[in-house]
Structure 1
């Protein structure tokens, strides 16, 4: 079905173009003297034919001919055309042009290529019955009109499919942006709120004996809250891109507040790492440290960087290991799912598992390994 007044007007124009062939039947109706019964039949049959033609072509040009009503209407047009030509004469042979147009506008391409010539052949046979000479002009017009409508119908169907595809792409883009925003907010707020919670508990334990230390913790809570607000605003605007240096500093603060000994490099390695991939690795570090603080029950956490040469080129590897409860205690939820998606989009990969001792034996703790390609992003 058309969408909007403009589409309706354009469609009616394409359908109405073929009404130019209706001049002969109209002239015959107005000027040919007939008996009352025959005149009533002529007017009634013509009106029924026109209504059926307009409804059929307007409704089914842009969609498949489904249901019995549409097929019966098409058959009814053919039967009316045969009866009107047989009872009223050669002026009504032009009705088969509309039959061919209806077939081309509503039937699938394969059946239409067969039925249009068949309808033209029936018209030629009726012309012999009523002793008329339609000539090649009228037969050619019927064939041309029918096959032209098959092309118009194909064009209309393609336009409808393109609109549907465009709407689908827009919906997918909206869903992707919604997923990006949800992932960013989770990564931002999960880390910041965990840190605020830890510092709040620590300040509560310090009171009332250590007021100055509690005041320091409250000041840091305010600083973290303000930074979280800035981060959320930047994430909503789409400009947030964390750095490894900043996340290392944040990880040291979070681990220290949780009472977990932190073994962290002072600075990330100075390698040829694209800013987009550094941002992804920074998100991974933030989520990994947040999980260690919230879920591992660890007493020590180690963060290391290394460059690995693979068949696909050099990769920068981030390893976050703790001595906590191990994989069974790891929280593989929205956070790890989100960073897995980020790494995959950046051409990297994520691995998780147990920590192994120097002799290769499985130890306690949880190990997260993330890799991103070095060099410029594609």
Structure 2
């Protein structure tokens, strides 16, 4: 199986969060580009009309360059829309003063030069469409904006200001500008909502896991501490009259302490342990998210492999690949042989990585594998660095 991700996102995010973060950024730029493209297309159309009406350079300069300035001013509205506050009205009128003045000035000036009421209203209408209205208000604003532009297009046609164009052409312009602008903003809102839902789901899962751990620890420690308290209280009563029985209760209390300590250790191990199949899948996803072309072959019964021995090895070797690899490709294999499990990870080797590979990371892997009565093989070819770990199947008892 092979997969590739071309860009590398910040390291403190999970692979899924990195992909969603990139998707949000891409959707934001798509929204900006779509809105600006619509506006520039209409400015180009009105500039062509200005050329047909008046060949003097002044009208063309006002309609064309003034339209570009108006489109640039709407970028301020889009930036405010992205960082709006949903809890409030969401309309930052103070920051919108400059775009409004530019829209009003361009609409009145260009509209009077060309002689079109629709051009007079179009920039101002777009200003109100791009505002961050509360839920339920936006639909009414878009309907009103569409009605105004379509009505003014009809007025231009009736009064002979259609410039030889069919009446339905300016009507299409009047429908397209607010409709396509608000649809782009709607797609952006959908992705932001999904991102917030993902964050809320992650927080809820973390909270539920903390509650479950706290409940288990409370039940375990509460039981043992209650037993120990009773044993010590009984020992305190028996020691003055029956020293032997009192010492027996003290020994029982010490055994209870050992049981509580072992129970806590087992509980921590149970929460820390991850099925080996999940470890390998996480390693593959992590390497893929880092931009490597990953080839993975994982045995169908990987969860039966000795996770206590191989789990830390998988994490350590994956980290080594990310730190010291050449960053183009990696190979991840886990196969079962006669009486043993064989784990192999390989990657393209960076020219200066040989000295670092011999550091404490692989030394720790070697010690862990030797404790599991396994073997470690490190091989460096001309363009590839390979780590092969073999662990006996009998070491499954140590899980």
TM-score by length of 2: 0.47
Greater relative contact order, per chain length (Cα 8 Å cut-off, separation 6+): 2
